[in-house]
Copies of this chain bind each other. A is one copy, B any other.
């Protein structure tokens, strides 16, 4: 028995050596791959750059985090930003379309909040230019947090002593700091801290050992097959709008969902969506603007067919998925530490349905 095992082991080692040799023959030149990658991608900075009218400060980030986690920003009092952009699940809710006020379903899959500030615009159709603009939307959307108007948001916050103090700290030179613009500014400041450095960033910074052989092969395919023509930049996406179904229609497309056309009213923008960031994408299922595809492998296959007109082999898909998984990063610990929220007062307008 022992003898047989040793023999089997020797055989394995032999095969291993042969395989090792084969791999060595096909081995990617790390330096070349890195240089090629640098043409498409950049490593994450520590924080997302802030606009000049909303510089990121510690106080603003702290307030923004409180607001992000506070369900009192919704009419019902139970839905917070984190309900649909759950940081415990990489900034998404893991459902096709979010369940908002009275369990109404949203029209689009909730995109991850992680690294979102790197995008050229917010929402799938890019209707908000900045994180600040975006933050104001869901709070007032009747199928999401369903606040009837900004006044109720402000009334809730102004009757919570703890918040009044936090707004004063975050916006120290303002006479009346508790206002809807500042709610959005604080949330945006918090969101600018949500960057997720990964092994892929180590690679981009020059440590070619940070990726496995398979991941490197995936990265090579990702660039050579054409994926990186759209999914590029610091967020591996988010830099442009593109038609979904360039070569072949997307099989699940709802023809009533016109995408960016709703913003521009430009015929050419029908079925055009923002190219999503692929950072952490293996964690941000289900996929696409409608959340119809759950398996990352199917998503990659569909992208090849609809956008590039190619049929990727199972092996190629495997490798590309391995590369994508290497972008799974570390969510900042501070962001995951839930704040203890300041209590309402008897004057605070009550939650209602």
A-side interface residues toward B, CB under 8 Å? 69-72, 76-78, 83, 86-90, 93-95, 98-99, 101-103, 282-283, 285, 294-295, 297, 331, 333, 336-341, 343-344, 346, 350-351, 353
Given contacts A99-B353, A336-B337, contact A346 B94 (CB under 8 A): no
Given A337-B336, A343-B283: A77 and B103 interface contact (C-beta under 8 Å) = no
When A and B form their complex, which 4 residue pairs have the shortest distance between CB atoms, in order from nearest? A295-B346, A336-B338, A102-B103, A88-B338
Cα–Cα, bound, A89→B78 (Å): 11
Residues of chain B within 8 A of A72, CB atoms compared: 94
Residues of B within 8 A of A102 (CB): 102-103
Cβ 8 A contact of A103, one of B71, B337, B353: B353
List the B side residues contacting A83 at CB < 8 Å: 78, 83
What separation, in Å, do the CA atoms of A83 and B82 have in the docked complex?
11
Q: Across the interface, do B76 and A88 meet the contact criterion of CB distance under 8 Å?
A: no
Query: In whole angstroms, how far apart are the Cα atoms of A341 and B338 in the complex?
Result: 15
A282–B77 CA distance with the chains assembled, in angstroms:
18
Chain B residues lying within 8 Å of A87, measured Cβ to Cβ, are: 338
- Hey, which chain B residues are within 8 Å of A94, CB to CB? 71-72, 77, 344, 351
Cα(A89)–Cα(B93), bound, Å: 21
User: Would you call the interface of chain A mostly helix, strand, loop, or mixed?
Assistant: loop
**Minimal beta-carbon separation of A142 from chain B (angstroms):** 14
Distance from A29 Cβ to chain B, minimum over Cβ atoms (Å)? 32
User: What is the bound-complex CA distance between A344 and B337, given in angstroms?
Assistant: 23
Nearest CB in chain B to that of A72: its residue:
B94
Q: What is the chain B residue whose CB lies nearest that of A89? A: B341
A72 nearest CB across to chain B (Å): 7
Partner of A77 from B76, B95, B297, B331 at Cβ < 8 Å: B95
By a CB distance below 8 angstroms, the chain B residues around A76 are 95, 99, 103
Q: Contacts of A294 on B, CB cut-off 8 Å?
A: 346, 350
Tell which of B69, B86, B343 touches A282, judged by Cβ atoms closer than 8 Å. Answer: B343
Further 20 A-B residue pairs, CB within 8 A, beyond A72-B94, A103-B103: A70-B88, A71-B93, A76-B95, A76-B103, A77-B93, A78-B83, A78-B98, A88-B339, A89-B340, A102-B102, A102-B103, A283-B343, A294-B346, A295-B346, A333-B337, A336-B337, A336-B338, A336-B339, A336-B340, A337-B337
User: Considering only CB atoms, which chain B residue lies closest to A283 in the complex?
Assistant: B343
By a CB distance below 8 angstroms, the chain B residues around A336 are 337-340
Q: Contacts of A103 on B, CB cut-off 8 Å? A: 76, 101-103, 353
* 21 pairs, A vs B, C-beta closer than 8 Å: A69-B88, A71-B94, A72-B94, A76-B99, A78-B98, A88-B339, A89-B340, A89-B341, A94-B351, A95-B351, A99-B353, A102-B103, A103-B353, A282-B343, A285-B344, A295-B346, A331-B340, A333-B337, A336-B338, A336-B340, A337-B337
Question: A35 vs B337: C-alpha distance in the bound complex, in angstroms?
Answer: 39
